[in-house]
Amino acid sequence: MLDNVSVITLDQIAAEVWLLKQDGYRFVTMTCCDEGEVHDVLYHFDKNYALKHLRVKVRKGESLPSISGIYFAALLVENEMKDLLGVSVSGMVIDFQGHFMLAEGAPKAPLNKSIPGIGIQVQEKTPAAAEGTVKS
């Protein structure tokens, strides 16, 4: 693992983020990957062009504590994760209730892998199909 990534638990998020802010780090963004049973959330921070990351695993059904009270801009990414991946985020300064990025009537959490029929559908080409597209 990279030496600039710290693996933390849900109950450590607020304290760790607060320490980074006190140390002069700026919040860059967050990344969330749906791994089926859990969401892998990475927090990205910068100080003097050096990145530092916090990583936490959030089981589906668990709530991720918001850091928007510490870094206000985090509410944008937290609402995006809630809308697109169905991540439950508690304590957001502004909660768009699932309509930050999605319109009324849109599928709920369209990128959540655990919702049948929802999510990115990848259509793979078979070797036979690929061969049929090239004429010699």
Q: What is the pLDDT of residues 41-81, one digit of tens each?
A: 999 999 999 999 999 999 988 999 999 999 999 999 999 99
- Tell me what the mean pLDDT of segment 112-130 comes to: 55
Tell me the average pLDDT across 84-112. 84
| pLDDT value of residue 122 | 45
Between CA 106 and CA 78 the distance in angstroms is: 19
Q: Where are the domains of the chain?
A: 5-123
- From the options 3.30.70.2390, 1.10.3720.10, 2.60.40.10, 3.30.460.80, give the CATH code of 5-123: 3.30.460.80
Q: Read off the pLDDT band of 106 (50, 70, 90).
A: confident
